Amino acid sequence: MLAYIVKRLLQAVPVLIGISIIVFLVMSVIPGNQATALLGAFATPENVAALNETLRLDEPIPVQYFAWLGGVLQGDFGQAYSLGRPVADELAGRIGPTFLLAGTALLLCTVFGLLAGSAAAVRQYGWTDRILSLLVLVGISTPSFWLGIMAIVLFSLTLGWFPTGDMYSLFGGGGLLDLLWHLTLPALTLAVVATGVVARLTRANMLEVLRQDYVRTARAKGLPERTVIGRHAFRNALVAMVPIIGIQAGFVIGGAVYIEEVFQWPGLGRMLVTAISQRDILLVQGGVMVVATAFVLINLTADVVQALLDPRVRER
C-alpha cells in the first residue's frame, strides 16, 4: 500500500509541472508590454522596474519560468498590486472559506448521489427510479448561479430562514452554529449539479455490478437482498465511483466560483473574479495554481481510497 502511495505521488509530479507550465504560459501570452499589462492601473515607472526585476521579464521565457517557479515553490507568488499586499497573504485568508464550502458540497453530493443512484438502480424502471431520474436530469441541467439566486429569494427574502450571504470571516464571532447557518444555502446549491452527476453514474455502475456473476453467487448463498446489494454490489460500485467523485471535486471547486459570487462568500472564487476584472494577473495566477494543485491532491487521495477499497488496484 505504501509503495502504491509513493508511486502515485511520483506520478503527480509531472502533472503538477505541466499545470505550472500552463498557468505560466497563459499569463505570458498577454498581448502588449507584459509588465504594463500585469500591473494594469498600477503601472507606475517604479512598479514596472520592480516587476521587470523580480519576474526577469527581459530574459528568455524559460528563465522567466524558472524564476517564477522558484518563487512559487517558496510560497512567493509576487505582489497583488490591486490589494497592495503579497499574493500569498491574500490566498492564505481565502483558502479556508472555499475549501469549507466546496468540501461540504462534495460531501453532500457524495452521500446523496450514491444513495439516490443506488436506490434508482435497485428499483430500475420503478417509480423511485423515474422520479429520481427526472430530478437528476433537472439537477444536472440547472445553472447553479440561478439556483442560488432563487434560493435567496425563497429562503432568505421570503421565508427569512437563512441569511442572503454576508459571510465576512469564518471564525469572526458567531461560532459554529452561525457558520452552519451561513453555510447551508451555498453548500446545498453548490451540491445540486454534482449530486445529479454522481447519482446518474452510480445508477449506471450499480446496474453494471448487479449483472455480475458474483451477485448471482451471493444470491445463490441465500443472502438477503439487503446484504446482496449493500455488501456485494454497492462495495464494487463504490470502487468505480471513488475516482469519479474525485473528478467531481474539480467541478465543485469551479462551481464554487459562482456560488461565492451569489452568496458573497469570502473565498478564492470571489477573489479571482475581482482580480480578473481588475486585471491583477499575479493574483489570478497564484489563485489558479493553488486550486489546481489542491485538485491534483484530491484526485490522488481518491486513487488511494480506491486502492484501499479494491486490492486489485494496488497491483496495477
Partner 1 sequence: MGEPAEPGEPVAALAEPAGSGRAGAWARLTANRMTSVGLAVLGLLLALTALAPVLPLADPDATDLSRHLLPPFSEGAWLGTDQFGRDLLSRLVWGTRVSLGVGLAATLAAALVGATIGLLAAYYGRLVDTLLMRGIDTVLAFPYLLLALAIVAALGPSLLNALMAIAIVNVPFFARAVRGQALAIKNLDYIAAARLSGFSDARIILTEILPNVFPVVVVTMATTLSWMILETAGLSFLGLGAQPPTADLGSMLGNGRELVHRAPWVAVLPGVVILLLAVGINLVSDGVRDVLDPRLKSGVLVRPAALTARRLPDAASAAVSAAPAPALGPDLVLSVRGLSTRFEVGGRVLKAVEDVSFDISRGETLGLVGESGSGKSVTALSLAGLVASPPGVMVKGEVWLNGGSGGPIDLARADLATLQAIRGGRIAYIFQDPLSALNPVLRAGEQVAETLVRHRGLGRGAAMAEAVRLLDAVKLPGAREKARAFPHELSGGQRQRVMIAMALANRPDLLIADEPTTALDVTTQQRVLALLDELRRETGAALLFISHDFAVIGDLCDRVAVMYAGQIVEQGSAAALFARPAHPYTERLLQCVPDLKAPHDVTAIPNLPPAVDRLPPGCSFAPRCHRATQACREAPIALRALDGDHAARCLYAEEVAAGTAAPAGAPAHG
Whichever of 31 and 84 has its CB closer to partner 1, that residue is 31
Q: From CA 85, how far away is CA 76, in angstroms rounded?
A: 12
What is the three-class DSSP state of 169?
A: coil
Q: Which three cell numbers stand for residue 53?
A: 526585476
Largest CA distance in the chain: 81
Q: From CA 175, how far away is CA 170, in angstroms rounded?
A: 9
Q: Which three cell numbers stand for residue 142?
A: 440547472
Residue 15 interacts with partner 1 (CB under 8 A)? Answer: yes
Residue 10 interacts with partner 1 (CB under 8 A)? Answer: no
Residue 284 interacts with partner 1 (CB under 8 A)? Answer: yes
Q: Which three cell numbers stand for residue 37?
A: 499589462
Paired residues of 79 in beta bridges: 86
Residue 296 interacts with partner 1 (CB under 8 A)? Answer: yes
Residue 124 interacts with partner 1 (CB under 8 A)? Answer: yes
Whichever of 176 and 226 has its CB closer to partner 1, that residue is 226
Range 162-181, binding partner 1 (CB under 8 A): 164
Whichever of 104 and 133 has its CB closer to partner 1, that residue is 133
Quick note: the x/- pattern for partner 1 over 236-275, rule CB under 8 A, is x--x----x--xxxxx-xxx-xx--xx---------xx-x
* Minimum distance of partner 1 from residue 51's CB (angstroms): 16
Range 40-99, binding partner 1 (CB under 8 A): none
Q: Are 64 and 55 in contact (CB under 8 A)?
A: yes
* Minimum distance of partner 1 from residue 35's CB (angstroms): 15
Residue in 143, 161, 169, 171 binding partner 1, rule: CB under 8 A: 143
Whichever of 74 and 141 has its CB closer to partner 1, that residue is 141
Looking at residue 104, its amino acid is: T
Residue in 13, 26, 92, 107 binding partner 1, rule: CB under 8 A: 26
C-alpha distance from residue 280 to each of 47, 86, 193, 237, 287 (Å):
13, 12, 30, 45, 11
Range 208-227, binding partner 1 (CB under 8 A): 208, 210-225, 227
In the numeric block, the cell 486550486 is attached to 291
